[in-house]
Amino acid sequence: MPQNLLEQLRKVTVVVADTGDMEAMEKFRPQDATTNPSLITAAAQMPQYQPIVDSVLKDARSELGASAAAQAVANLAFQRLAIAFGKKILEIVPGRVSTEVDARLSFDTEATVAQARKIIAEYRAAGVDRKRILIKIASTWEGIRAAEILEKEGIHCNLTLLFGLHQAVAAAEAGVTLISPFVGRILDWYKKDTGNDYQGAADPGVQSVTRVYNYFKKFGYKTVVMGASFRNIGEICELAGCDLLTISPQLLAELEATQGELPRKLSPEAAQTQPLEKIALDKATFDKMHAADRMAKEKLQEGIDGFTAALVKLESLLAQRLAELESRATAAV
């Protein structure tokens, strides 16, 4: 009996679920899972996860006290919510979960390090080994420097919102565990900028991840590549063989429902044959390459702004929910 595309993909690539929806994870049983502020905000609004939200809010109120402002309680709760979802996710997946640092700290190395340490401490207090956690940090120069500090402390990092080779090389030089180049968002930018459509190997997002993967394997970096943000299964098929791919439940279902051959496209052996030159990267070179890469510069800032907006929305939703809970409690007295 022929295998579907998802079964074949699992043979050459670690499949990760890109969702905050635990029901979807239970269905597809990925090795790892990733979340981000947008996914957590969406999951927090699903009725089936309301008990998790309510529990986090009550704990935050208890910790800060009755006199604390609702906004302060909501802010603490939003930080804890991603961890609460992460703990639930780790009951389902056998591997790791990525938990993101506040996007508003993307250009602050010290604050990013401090929050990452708090996240790890929260997981540790819940009995979760730090080996099962990846701290997600935006791929700014400051974020990469924070990840370098954390990796030396044994805290593993996932550098996200990654669009350019300069970001990838800087992360690898910093000894980061994993990077998440955003395939679909790169495609979105080029389609809008040129008015052209791109398919298969011509997809700029596919080409970007292929170039990064080949660079890492050719020059022996330990940092692994996890393609992310897919728009269609064609992009996924073109990256078969990548170390990891994080895929939405919708596209996982489509892969599972599709029969056909799935040839391996990326491999360490093929990477060795690529005519690539090693880049010497310091901050000045990083800044110069970033300024010259209009797509990477625009998409990084857009991504940070988008995740920030999702966090603001989540804090507002949590403040509203807290008011509802406390109103009910008062009425019941």
**What stretch of H or E contains 141?**
helix 141-152
- Reference 225, options 277, 279, 266, 193; nearest CA is 266
Residue 233, both tokens? 């299964």
Tell me the C-alpha distance between 282 and 288, whole Å.
Answer: 10
- pLDDT at position 1 is 65
- What does pTM read for this prediction? 0.93
Domain residue ranges of the chain, discontinuous segments joined by +: 5-332
> Letter for the amino acid at 132?
R
- pLDDT at position 333 is 67
pLDDT per residue as tens digits for the range 49-98: 999 999 999 999 999 999 999 888 988 898 889 899 999 999 999 999 99
Tell me the C-alpha distance between 315 and 318, whole Å.
Answer: 5
Provide mean pLDDT across the span 27-45: 86
In 153-258, alpha helices (H): 165-173, 183-194, 204-218, 233-238, 249-257
CATH 2.170.270.10 fits 5-332, yes or no: no
pLDDT per residue as tens digits for the range 114-148: 999 999 999 999 999 999 999 999 999 999 999 99
**Residue 136 annotated as catalytic:** yes
More confident residue, 149 or 44: 149
Catalytic residue among 131, 136, 222, 313: 136
pLDDT per residue as tens digits for the range 271-320: 999 999 999 999 999 999 999 999 999 999 999 999 999 889 988 999 99
